[in-house]
A and B are shown apart, each in its own frame.
Chain A
């Protein structure tokens, strides 16, 4: 496991490639989050909304991305997590999670974070400020 103090500006936390997105992933997230907007689970509703098919909840992708930091909670916590939703995530998309250290200031570590699809297009991107104790 990489510790934060060993990281240099420009270094990345280990990227994670998720398995292809399944309908069950989104059904589970709907149940766990309480977000039952049908465009995330029911084909017909997605089509009625003008989409080619069901799309992942943006918050599902944002939730996944945060796991790059889960190993670090003994040393600190996410103080700020800021995301812009940029592109849709469809069934069978292969999403990769990224976090690059761009700045350190005292006990605050500033990361650029993103989740990209199999065509390297960003689904979400933003910043994480990780504050160590």
Chain B
């Protein structure tokens, strides 16, 4: 059933790299570096503004993929890759969407596991890609059966 989702994309969603969200996020990972949260330091930096930590896109809305119904429990995050062309700037608008790249199954120690690969994209106001984020989500046999039986 996940095979049918390969290649599907979400409808792009506009997100703002919001100052308060960046601050809250930086504090939550114990990284209150002034480049993220001090307005004056940001202004004087080479970026001319504050930037966001590299894992900040976790906060963004990437839209929903039609007919892909993932359970909100029991998923295992296997891998995560961020690729940046430049850092995210506080205050800018980033358009985000996600794509199902792959689905495959493998026999593991705990039975037949499902592997679902997503790729997220973030583009700036000029339509240039600022970052991509790939994630591998693992579904164990129990979860996979549950999803299949729906």
Measuring CB to CB, which residues of chain A are less than 8 angstroms from any residue of chain B?
A: 18, 25, 28-29, 31-35, 37-39, 45, 49, 58-60, 62-64, 66-67, 70-71, 73-74, 77-85, 133
CB within 8 Å for A31 and B24 given contacts A59-B58, A77-B87: yes
Q: State the interface size on chain B (CB cutoff 8 A).
A: 34
A and B contact pairs by CB, cutoff 8 A, 23 listed: A28-B27, A33-B25, A37-B72, A37-B73, A58-B77, A58-B80, A59-B77, A60-B29, A63-B28, A63-B29, A63-B31, A63-B55, A67-B53, A70-B36, A73-B35, A73-B87, A80-B81, A80-B82, A81-B54, A82-B80, A83-B81, A84-B78, A84-B79
Measuring CB to CB, which residues of chain B are less than 8 angstroms from any residue of chain A?
A: 21, 24-25, 27-31, 33, 35-36, 45-46, 51, 53-55, 58-59, 72-74, 76-87
Min C-beta distance of B27 to chain A, whole Å? 7
Contacts of A39 in B (CB 8 A): 73
Contacts of B53 in A (CB 8 A): 63, 66-67, 70
Min C-beta distance of B114 to chain A, whole Å? 16
Cross-interface CB contact of B58 among A25, A28, A35, A67, cutoff 8 Å: A35
Contacts of B45 in A (CB 8 A): 73-74
Q: A32-B24, A33-B58 are in contact. List 8 more A-B contacts (CB 8 A).
A: A28-B27, A32-B28, A49-B74, A67-B30, A67-B31, A74-B46, A83-B81, A85-B77
B45, B55, B78, B83: residue with the most chain A Cβ atoms closer than 10 Å: B55
B59 touches A33 (CB 8 A): yes
Contacts of A79 in B (CB 8 A): 83-85
Query: Complex formed: what's the CA distance from A70 to B27 in Å?
Result: 13
Contacts of A77 in B (CB 8 A): 51, 84, 86-87
